[in-house]
Structure 1
């Protein structure tokens, strides 16, 4: 069993039966979900509980916005902040840097600045570790958000499938820390891990969330009063819920929806979608083709705001290096495909 095969805590229903992917019933999924949120069962469920408590907690400012400060203008501002700003930041921070190290910051100041550029909605640990496993076992048993197992399987994966094991050896825990140490997250000692079952400590995690929220609520309040602050915080929760649906859609809902001339990665069923691509730079098939790249939008219509941010910060000196695979993509994938299309056209035109 490889390292990535043994770092996540498997659900009680397992990943496979008789050598094939096991698709649990909705009842099994919900039962697992609520069991893993039960802090009275074990304190080691704290991270999953915090994740959903904060996500649902954003419903309070959202409700206050709609009931006390609603305006169509602020609705639009909140929507753009949620879909574009938070989405692009998620691609930059959680996806390209924290998981894949597609670029490097000049120093810790710029790293922490980038980390806190938006309202904090999810913890790094909940995303990074499981995403490494996703790429290693994509669409096979053990993939924590395997689209072939259904929408609910993916939507509740952050609780049911993405938590780290609670019985790692000291050696495995030390190796696991190496996947997160570059993010700036305050990591537990092995003894603390044995107590809390996580890489991050509840005290540091809660303090970071509260400090981030205090600063951003203050900034939004100064700019537009409670109305703007409640709108943007409320819509942050919309993003936190919506991001949990992405991988299911990004892998064709478990079906092969790849298109010739659009999706060039044939190793899995990830697809390039216009909406997440254009507003966040998440051209998912391209990303699976070159997961360690700082750019995922390779073709002329594939606008990549995350890439433009990375390149802009590099120009300013905040980012010291990045990896760009567009030249390789064009040479190895797109140009050969385009030549084949020309050849076919000549044959048909006769």
Structure 2
């Protein structure tokens, strides 16, 4: 890591309890607290149907929605899909309650642009808890907001902004998970709501957040990326292969994060299947030349 990057790693955040939270985020904190608190009732509202719907929605929103759609398809354009399937998978990601596609993709692109500097939306240079969750409780990310004027805040996602579908999701974001919650409750009562919404959202949310925090602090660095990214196999088990984070920062254009054959990467398995049946096209992978160039000796 070069000297200029090391100088940035001494930045300290404001105390969590001394922050002035915008009104909109106070409401969000309440919703987040409610979802997490509701999980305490999960052991008392359990049945086979509730666990099944939790698992199915965990796969739909976490694997297909966040990993395949939001991250590898929309953010990094590591492969192409027919528009109908691109939109369907993006809609799945909406129900992970991590933000609409425009918001999520914008934040992640800023993360790669300013990785592990003070402007990185969620770098652990500002502390573990900041990178894991408290960054998410700020109105727009404070680090990005201080550098990017408000009228330019979505300038890195013009490819999504120009599409009516994504603008619609951006404006109506919360209506969709609320509707899903109502449907689940009407079908299976409290067990379906608690397991299908609350427990499932918490699992997918923290799986993503562990990539932001743990995978920039603990693990191996087989590639020269000039940042703090790490490979962490334990996180990959929970986050559908996203834990091979040093691989990802080395080859962010790659649809495959588990570069080695033994690196568990279900996101890649699905993309490879879609490619095999002719649905996914222009699938990008790192070249041997690029890998040799970045390999740590």
Give the TM-score normalised by the residue count of structure 1. Answer: 0.66
Shift of 1:153: 1.9
> Which ranges of structure 2 fall in alignment gaps of 5 or more residues?
1-6
Distance 1:82 1:206, change over 3 A: closer
The one of 215, 226, 243 aligned to 1:267: 226
Task: Write the distance in 1 (CA, Å) between the matches of 2:72 and 2:276.
Answer: 18
2:177 to 205, 209, 212: 209
Question: Are residue 157 (structure 1) and residue 139 (structure 2) matched?
Answer: no
- Which residue of the other structure, out of 200, 206, 211, is the alignment partner of 1:246? 211
- Residue number in structure 2 paired with 1:196: none
CA deviations over 1:87-109 (Å, ceiling 9, x no partner):
433221222123212222211x2
Aligned to 2:286: 325
Structure index of larger Rg: 1
Over 3 Å counting, the alpha-carbon distance change for 1:50 and 1:208 in structure 2 is farther
Aligned residue among 90, 94, 119 for 1:115: 90
CA distance in 2, matches of 1:31, 1:180: 36
SS in 1 for 2:282: strand
Give 1:312 shift. Answer: 2.0
Q: Deviations over 1:7-29 (max 9, x none)?
A: xxxxxxxxxxx97743024xx33
- Could you report, residue by residue, the CA deviation over 1:100-158 in whole angstroms, capped at 9, with x for unpaired residues? 12222211x21222123364321134432222222122112211212122112212112
Asked if the contact 2:257/2:268 (under 8 Å) is kept, the reply is yes
Q: 1:212 to 1:82 in 2, by over 3 A?
A: closer
Aligned-CA RMSD value: 3.7
1:264–1:333 contact (8 Å) kept in structure 2: yes
1:298 counterpart = 2:274: no
Distance in 2 between residues matched to 1:180 and 1:230, nearest whole Å = 32
1:83/1:246 CA distance change after superposition, 3 Å: farther
1:230 maps to which residue? 194
Query: Aligned in 2, Cα 1:213/1:185: closer, same or farther, shift over 3 Å?
Result: farther
> Could you say which residue in structure 1 is the equivalent of 2:13?
24
C-alpha separation in 2, matches of 1:330 and 1:244: 27
Is the Cα contact below 8 Å between 1:58 and 1:234 reproduced in 2? yes
CA deviation map 1:265-306 (0-9, x unaligned): 341121111122244111100000011211111102112100
Is residue 2:111 matched to residue 1:134? yes
How far, CA to CA, are the matches of 1:169 and 1:75 in structure 2? 42
Q: Distance in 1 between matches of 2:162 and 2:68?
A: 14
Distance 1:112 1:140 in 2: 33
**Alpha-carbon deviation of 1:229?**
5.0
Asked if structure 2 preserves the Cα contact closer than 8 Å seen for 1:287 and 1:293, the reply is yes
Please report the TM-score for the alignment, with normalisation by the length of structure 2.
0.76
Q: Which residue of 2 aligns with 1:5?
A: none
Give CA deviations for 1:202-245 in whole Å, capped at 9, x if unaligned: xx122233344455x27xx76x7753553232222322245334
Quickly say closer, same or farther: Cα 1:272–1:205, change in 2 above 3 A: same
Report whether the alignment pairs 1:175 with 2:135: no
- Alignment match, 1:277: 236
